[in-house]
A and B are shown apart, each in its own frame.
Chain A
Amino acid sequence: MTPTSSATEIARAVQTGAASAQSVAVETIERIRRHNAALGAFTDITAERALVQAAAVDKDVAAGNMLPLAGVPFAVKNLFDLKGVVTRAGSRINRDNPPATGDAALVEKLEAAGAICVGAVNMGEYAYDFTGENAHDGPSRNPHNLEYMTGGSSGGSGAAVASGLVPLSLASDTNGSIRVPSSLCGLFGLKPTYGRLSRHGAFPFVGSLDHLGPLARSVEDLAACYDALQGYDERDPAQAKRPVEPVSLRLDRGAAGLRVAVADGYFTGDSSIRAAVAAAAGAFENTKTVSIPNAAAARAAAFLITMAEGGTLHRERLRTRAADFDPDVRDRLLAGNMLPANWIERAQRFRRVFRQQVLALFEQIDVIIAPATPMRAPRLGQKTALFDGVELPVRPNLGIYTQPFSFIGLPVVAAPLWLPGETLPIAVQLITAPWREDVALRAAIHLEKQGVASAPVASGFAHD
């Protein structure tokens, strides 16, 4: 197999005996060891675990068992529990904890489907980040240009897939942490409906906003991974009792009949952003525009809930180990503890109102298109940037377009575009009604098949 092999190709090769899971695992771990210093992607390489799992997969395949992700290597953001590994969640403090005694639910799911976990990857501290930089482990670096950000907080998840070290990674998204790195690293990312996938065994950030999901280099891989991740788990108090609703076999139905609208107003962006959105919209017929009411208030409410819930979660660590935090994260969490209850209660009440307002739009629309980020990848260390002509801090503002949708738990696929003359990608969000991940993925595969969206392995990593 090669760095550009897709998850689907690897699974087919292993399932048919053209390759062994063990040989894929060995090659993958060798490549990770060769390139990780440049990328800052992996914080834990689970070589022994991978080889044991790969041997078991080869045995299963030889026994005639069908495994949809046979031998497919994957990485997890280092807030997912891996048995025997300390779940650091991007922090210095949590690495003093004992190793996890079990695996996160989604890791169990992928391994049950035959996939091979090869390690845990870098992330912004406690997931409170949009840059992919980490004060303790160093930054994850954008494989398309190592001097640029991956986006966060799931920066390692983006770097690992965009560099071809693995075809799949798992990540979390509270306010945009799957969609921002998908945009900056040029990947397909799925943030499913709030309550769709089990969060058991993943270190929390903001319980009322936390989602988990995959990143991949093709929609087919993203859907195959998503199908393997589904299933009710009573250990997650927020998970909905939904049946497994597989999407892989229902993806390729074209775009005929899809009612698509571009979000205007708040989501307009500068000319470069508008060009990306127009390119995506142009792939569909009769695209309309839609105004999302109160989007700025939705972002504000998500911002406040995040500060307060995140701050409360970490209060004891702030009291006892404040000096061990990333200073930027520490000060936001300290401030989050100090917010009036009135603001948070109003934000949660508005959340229900905003949900009703946006759900009404889906009576006339199947897919809303909006930019995923207000800019392409900033340089590492860059603190401010021009947003619509105004100089603002990079860190909180990379999420301005993602926050309003995760605020009400809508499913979103991020689809990456490479526009002529640009050296870095940017993604659009394909947003659908709750539980309609299938529609978002159908729109994404249409963009991919039309050649509008694509997620190639970064050229510097594609050929060895």
Chain B
Amino acid sequence: MADEADFSRWIDVMAELLELPASDEYRPGITANLATATKMARVLDAIELADDAESAPIYRA
């Protein structure tokens, strides 16, 4: 995910899949937020997780 064109394709696909609006007015904001999220995900990707590191939410029957 390096440039605007990539984010634009991402927005196209997901907006269609989820039936969400993605007008020209909204796109710069969505793009900026996806760029920030991508940076955050890269920080998290650097962390090694063991196979037994289970997700935090606990369901109690």
Contacts and interface: CB of A to CB of B under 8 A. Distances in A.
Interface of A: 208, 294, 296-297, 299-301, 303-304, 307, 315, 318-319, 322, 327-328, 330-332, 334-340, 343, 345-353, 355, 396
A208 to B, nearest CB: 6
Given A315-B18, A330-B29, A339-B37, A346 B44 contact: yes
Contacts of B55: 345, 348-349, 351-352
A304 B18 contact: no
Contacts of A300: 39-41, 43-44
A307 B37 contact: yes
Contacts of B24: none
A10 to B, nearest CB: 41
Contact of B53 (A299, A303, A350): A350
Interface of A is mostly: helix
Contacts of B21: 318-319, 322, 334
A292 to B, nearest CB: 14
A10 B12 CA distance: 58
B58 to A, nearest CB: 9
Given A331-B28, A338-B10, 20 more contacts: A304-B44, A315-B20, A331-B30, A331-B33, A335-B33, A337-B20, A338-B20, A338-B30, A340-B41, A343-B41, A343-B44, A345-B55, A346-B44, A346-B49, A348-B56, A349-B55, A350-B49, A351-B55, A352-B56, A353-B49
Contacts, number: 109
A349 to B, nearest CB: 5
12 contacts: A297-B43, A299-B40, A303-B36, A327-B26, A331-B29, A331-B30, A331-B32, A335-B29, A338-B34, A339-B37, A343-B44, A353-B50
A89 to B, nearest CB: 20
A338 B18 contact: yes
B3 interface: no
Contacts of A348: 55-57
A74 B7 CA distance: 46
A301 B37 contact: no
B57 A349 contact: no
Nearest to B40: A300
Contacts of B54: 349, 352
A331 B49 CA distance: 31
Interface of B: 10-11, 14-15, 18-22, 26, 28-30, 32-34, 36-37, 39-41, 43-47, 49-50, 53-57
Given A332-B33, A346-B45, A319 B40 contact: no
Contacts of B40: 299-301, 303-304
Contact of A350 (B10, B37, B44, B57): B44
Contacts of A346: 41, 44-45, 49
Contacts of A340: 41
B30 A335 contact: yes
A347 B36 CA distance: 15
Contact of B22 (A307, A334, A396): A334
Contact of A297 (B37, B44, B50): B44
A19 B19 CA distance: 59
Given A337-B14, A338-B34, A352-B54, A347 B20 contact: no
A328 B33 CA distance: 10
Contacts of B50: 353
Query: Among B30, B33, B36, B39, which residue has the most Cβ atoms of chain A within 10 A?
Result: B33
Contacts of B39: 300
A297 B46 contact: yes
A322 to B, nearest CB: 5
B45 to A, nearest CB: 7
Nearest to B33: A335
A334 B30 contact: yes
B26 A334 contact: yes
B21 to A, nearest CB: 5
Contacts of A294: 47
Given A319-B21, A338-B10, A346-B44, A396 B26 contact: no
A330 B21 CA distance: 10
Contacts of A328: 29
B20 A318 contact: yes
Contacts of B44: 297, 300-301, 304, 343, 346-347, 350
Contacts of A315: 18, 20
B37 A304 contact: yes
B34 A335 contact: yes
B47 A297 contact: yes
B56 A355 contact: yes
Contacts of B19: 319
